[in-house]
Chains A and B, each alone.
Chain A
């Protein structure tokens, strides 16, 4: 189109983008849970981070995407003192997603056994908590507690980041009170 028409469209045309306030407002609930989590992590782990090893036991990837989202610039759990590690030997906490399929049962079990005690096991998502819609399938062992002992279950398909953080906070409060 010609240049004057373009200028007309840009400055005098209808609005097609969102207003900044509608997506840039901070998630208040998330921040409060995060602040509380930070103080309890500093308390429990002496100024060091809480190390988390995430194991996928055969999920639909919905929970995994939420876990990935926790690390992005919007949620950013690193500032609360939570970091992901690659080796279970370094882990204080193990997050397991998805119902445990028969092929990955051994992997989940060896991951838990390779992690040094005390290790907190968190089952994330409906599949890990109860087996979900695959509960009686021939390809699936079932809920996570049929394979390894579970300390905290966070239901949801998938659970929101706030729910995940609140679940972790409860787990830490539980273990610190023991």
Chain B
């Protein structure tokens, strides 16, 4: 079957969607564009899925003269990410049909649709390129279109976040370009395989420098601490389906780039690089999860949770690099398998959570968790899907993230005794930190779901929430179902993407096998369902229904109001207190006396301020240094033209002296 035709058709469809949105009249064409985008991305998803199932490992797509003869090809890894991208993009465009119509006065709908299509096109192109030129061109397309998408609602906060994002992403792109240029000897039309050959002949210091450049470039896009500062600003300001795409898929593009560079192109030699990656990964995981627990803006919670998840994935990759440099290839292979499974899980549950956050924000007319609540009674099906997604995000069985973490930790523990003491120490540190992060992630998700959905609504808007439209709720439900599917069928998925050594086939079901420990996710899932059913049926049969009298919650005799409920600030205060060195909360109480005669009767205003330690330690000093330097240089500007020309003259004379 000619997959390449379908893949190209998918790309063409996306491009066509962008064009149609440009030429359509104002106010119409939104549904058509979104449907077209959904169809083309759906086609791409199906094509890549069939490619993966067919077991081919390489597929050349095209190499046209029009595009400087850069090759486009599909490998197993890029087909996996292509599938993730297209599935999420398809569901996001279905979601966007009704979602954007709700906000039609705020967004310029045509521009939003066109930019979304270009964004998806950019990401598709990044995955299909097998030479640096195409990679960088589509990377830039992706970055610039997402810059405009972040400031789609044209508010001051969005524009500021978008500019911040633009600076960071261009610094990263510059680093990636520099890395490619150094590797390829100034020719960026060579395919990656040729780059791998060229890299063998470079000296180790150059390779280390190139690795650092790639780490900065891809790490800043993936949200590794300390390059992450744009992520919690930019993701909340974008429209929800764009946030879903950015957080669920764009971070995976950076991951894909990093994986290709580190494992296919650069030869792994030293353990320093691996230790740096592990350190940054663990730092991101811990930092992200602490802030996910503390934040009260629902989208910021999800953005920090993304930082934490990417930290975990990078830790897994770092461990793979470390043990590969020691020569243990099977260990490394399993660790990469776990990282990829976690990436698949993250793509689905994070996109679903962001789209659900869009529904929550629309219902409560605010992004703050403090005014939400009570959605579970008013939107039961939607709340059910969000519960599944939140539990998946907390890495609980039987969902997909749990399978990935189980694989990784089981592998780690099984091979721990065979390592040198230093490596053992590092691996134990990784294990301990991942346990801490797992616990805190659960805390964050409980806060998100408990305060956002349960109890009574905390504001008028939340009390009047209605169940979302089918076109909005179905993609979220589909993503929740996909999370369960990936979790239950984890061994089958691993065997498709080339990690069949992690599975073993028994009679009629496949197990997940890691170093003599087996886990059958499907059986686990079935057992859980069976438990639920048993309890449900038993209760129905054994309880005495005719003596049951429903009555409202015991409220100690006084009516319960929503002001008596737990707030997100209160719920997270133990963690905020424990980590106060990092979070630097500042509490401010301003008391203004109401009566002049009695200073004790006063109206008090309380404010709680969160600052991130990175701003104070890293970014603000750099800002001050740059401004100080500029002020000093400005003293040269005295306004006399002849002085400037004299400076040119002196520069010319000096240059001539040096050159001759």
Contact = CB atoms under 8 A, between A and B. Distances in A.
Contacts of B551: 113-114
A87 interface: yes
Contacts of B557: 104, 106-108, 110-111
Given A113-B551, A114-B554, 5 more contacts: A88-B554, A107-B558, A114-B551, A116-B549, A117-B549
B555 interface: yes
Nearest to B553: A114
Contacts, number: 19
Interface string B175-218: 00000000000000000000000000000000000000000000
Nearest to B559: A106
Interface string B515-550: 000000000000000000000000000000001010
A151 interface: no
A89 B549 CA distance: 12
Interface of A: 87-89, 104, 106-108, 110-111, 113-114, 116-117
Chain B facing A: main interface SS? loop
Nearest to A114: B554
A110 B552 CA distance: 9
19 contacts: A87-B554, A88-B554, A89-B554, A104-B557, A106-B557, A107-B556, A107-B557, A107-B558, A108-B557, A110-B554, A110-B555, A110-B557, A111-B557, A113-B551, A114-B551, A114-B554, A116-B549, A117-B547, A117-B549
A117 B547 CA distance: 9
A117 B548 CA distance: 10
Interface residues of B, number: 8
Interface of B: 547, 549, 551, 554-558
Contacts of A117: 547, 549
B484 to A, nearest CB: 36
A113 B550 CA distance: 10
Contacts of B549: 116-117
Contacts of B558: 107
Nearest to B554: A114
A107 B551 CA distance: 15
A114 B549 CA distance: 10
Contacts of B555: 110
A117 B557 CA distance: 18
A173 B644 CA distance: 111
A117 B549 CA distance: 10
Nearest to B558: A107
Nearest to A87: B554
B555 to A, nearest CB: 7
B180 to A, nearest CB: 69
A104 B558 CA distance: 9
Contacts of A88: 554
B550 to A, nearest CB: 11
Contacts of A104: 557
A101 to B, nearest CB: 12
B438 to A, nearest CB: 35
B553 to A, nearest CB: 9
Contacts of A107: 556-558
Nearest to B555: A110
Contacts of A108: 557
B312 to A, nearest CB: 43
Contacts of A89: 554
Nearest to A113: B551
Residue from B556, B557, B558 having most chain A Cβ neighbours under 10 A? B557
Contacts of B556: 107
A150 B28 CA distance: 70
